[in-house]
Amino acid sequence: MSAFEVLINALSDKDRDIRIAGADAIAHLDYSKNTDKKKKTVDALKTAEGDKKTAVKIAAI
């Protein structure tokens, strides 16, 4: 599991603090200078949109 997947999964954790930390970490990711990482991030978010967990879907939007 990649670090990004760990952050996505944190968004649906039972612990509120973990959800907040995951959302904050994702919000501060900067892939603006690396197109390969940017593409992987976009692909991961597209995958998250289809996830069964509501919190993961919301984060992807």
What pLDDT is recorded for position 13?
83
pLDDT digits (tens, 9 = 90+) for 9-60: 888 888 888 888 888 887 777 666 777 877 777 777 777 666 677 666 666 5
What pLDDT is recorded for position 60?
58
- What would the two tokens of residue 20 be? 């907040």
Q: In the structure, what pLDDT confidence band is assigned to residue 2 with cuts at 50, 70 and 90?
A: confident
pTM of the model: 0.50
Q: How far from 55 is each of 8, 16, 23, 45, 61, CA to CA, in Å?
A: 9, 12, 10, 12, 10
